[in-house]
Amino acid sequence: MGSESSMEPLGPGSRGPAVADVRAALRSLGLLGPDADGAEDHYDQPTELAVRHFQQVRGLSVDGRVGTETYRALSEARWSLGDRLLHHDPERPIRGDDVTNLQERLLELGYDAGRADGIFGRETEVGLLAFQRDYGLTADGTCGPGTLRALRQLGRKVTGGRPQLLRQSASFVDSGPHLIGRRIVVDPGHGGPDPGFTVGETTEADLVLDLASRIEGRLAAAGATVYLTRGRDQNPTLEERTTFANDARADLFISLHMDAQSSQHARGVASYYYGTGSGTSSTVGERFADLARREMVARTGMLDLGGHPKTWDLLRMTRMPSVRLDCGYLSHPVDRQLLLDAKLRGTVASAVLAAVQRLFLPADADPPTGTFVLPQKV
Ligand SMILES: [Zn+2]
């Protein structure tokens, strides 16, 4: 469509190239069927109906005619995110549905991008720059392929509140396996040639694999479909682990590690979820990180080191809520003794199961920390 400067309104009976433009725009929006022969530049009744429909859904005055305002709205509606580069042009601000979409995404992610008005102004630029800086992208204020990819990767991760699909019966405890249909990927860190931290004969890699298998057994008994990212002799790359989880279309990704430090005093349990620490975070990931850590602390007596937002690739490249749990310090005498105890690892696995259950339960059925026990024992 051409210039949007003031124009003679088009309406029933109008003919000409401008009408052909309008019809093409309506067609691309799916509001008008294919042209009949000789009708392509004719403002006929289907055209008028389509214009009315368009005006109604866009909140314009509905008169079935195309004046300046409707013409502009039609031009803007053609653009979807990714069709063109978006940036701030103070002379001729870029307008379009793609801009609205970008603004909405930034606002959702917690960036102040101004009102989602479809006009790429200074505020949108500031919001976009902040997003680009936080995510390690080139901070040029231009929304191009790299920025779009980052926005898409965040697609499912940043959702408001708990997933809606949790709304099940409140009488979950009596209803048998509750995690049917849930796909959960458990990722034991390290593996194969990479042992992680070592304590005598025992390695972090072996301990987290044992823990992962215990979690797997408990989750599977509760009805979930569980995948581990590795076996004993494998050490997948970070990318392989995250791709695996994405391909499995997992609902939740749980990565397991243990810590060690030269200082013998360091001890306790920490959890990490996707977030920048400046308002942008995976709310589901944060909730699960919190639940899992608190369940562990309540059941094992280990020190609570808190939950922390991180932009690590492991958390960033997974499309589902993902959490890394650091389940104690192998360098601390008490933590180590606990972690080397198979029974205690069973307790940690039960803590993770309880956290998963609580994540997927309706809020009113959520039992207090440390108390939830799966009806059938594993
Ligand atoms: Zn590790």
3-state class of 206 per DSSP? Answer: helix
Would you give per-residue pLDDT tens digits along the chain (378 residues)?
544 456 788 999 999 888 988 998 888 877 888 776 667 889 998 899 889 888 877 777 888 999 988 888 888 888 888 888 999 999 888 988 889 889 888 877 777 887 777 889 999 999 999 888 887 888 999 999 888 888 877 654 433 332 222 222 222 333 335 788 889 999 999 999 999 999 888 899 999 999 999 999 889 888 889 999 999 899 999 999 999 999 999 999 999 999 999 888 899 999 999 887 666 666 788 999 999 999 999 999 999 999 998 888 899 889 899 999 999 999 999 999 999 999 999 999 999 999 998 888 755 556 666 665 554 433
The percent of the chain in helix, strand and coil, each rounded to the nearest 5, is 40, 15, 45
Distance (Å, whole) CA 243 – CA 237: 10
Cβ 363 vs Cβ 287: under 8 Å: no
Distance (Å, whole) CA 274 – CA 257: 16
The predicted structure's pLDDT at residue 25: 86
In order, the DSSP letters of 322-337 are EEEEEEEETTSHHHHH
DSSP 281: B
Distance (Å, whole) CA 315 – CA 323: 7
Which residues fall within 8 angstroms of residue 78, CB to CB, at 6 or more apart? 1, 25, 28, 29, 96, 97
Distance (Å, whole) CA 196 – CA 194: 6
CA 40 to ligand 1 centroid distance, Å: 65
Distance (Å, whole) CA 328 – CA 315: 20
The predicted structure's pLDDT at residue 39: 74
CA 325 to ligand 1 centroid distance, Å: 10
The predicted structure's pLDDT at residue 340: 93
The predicted structure's pLDDT at residue 292: 96
CA 327 to ligand 1 centroid distance, Å: 10
Record the pTM.
0.54
CA 354 to ligand 1 centroid distance, Å: 23
Could you tell me which residues are beta bridge partners of residue 226? 184
Token output for 86? 């978006």
Measuring CA to CA, how many Å separate 179 from each of 168, 248, 348? 11, 16, 19
CA 174 to ligand 1 centroid distance, Å: 38
CA 369 to ligand 1 centroid distance, Å: 26
Distance (Å, whole) CA 343 – CA 148: 47
* In the block, residue with structure tokens 């390290």: 190
The predicted structure's pLDDT at residue 363: 55
* In the block, residue with structure tokens 């920025």: 147
Of 145, 97, 141, 147, the closest CA to residue 123 belongs to: 141
Distance (Å, whole) CA 176 – CA 222: 8
CA 208 to ligand 1 centroid distance, Å: 9
The predicted structure's pLDDT at residue 347: 93
How far does Cα 316 stand from its chain's mean position? 9
Q: Positive or negative, the Cα torsion across 306, 167, 181, 353? A: positive
CA 163 to ligand 1 centroid distance, Å: 30
Helix axis angle, 17-28 relative to 68-77, nearest 10°? Answer: 40
Residues near ligand 1 ion, CB 5 Å cutoff: 189, 196, 257
Q: Whole-angstrom distance between the N-terminal and C-terminal Cα of the chain?
A: 66
CA 321 to ligand 1 centroid distance, Å: 20
Token output for 81? 């995110």
Of 243, 247, 227, the closest CA to residue 187 belongs to: 227
Distance (Å, whole) CA 303 – CA 77: 55
Which residues fall within 8 angstroms of residue 225, CB to CB, at 6 or more apart? 181, 182, 183, 184
Measuring CA to CA, how many Å separate 299 from each of 269, 342, 350, 371? 12, 14, 9, 9
- The CB-side HSE value for 21 (13 A sphere, CA atoms) comes to 14
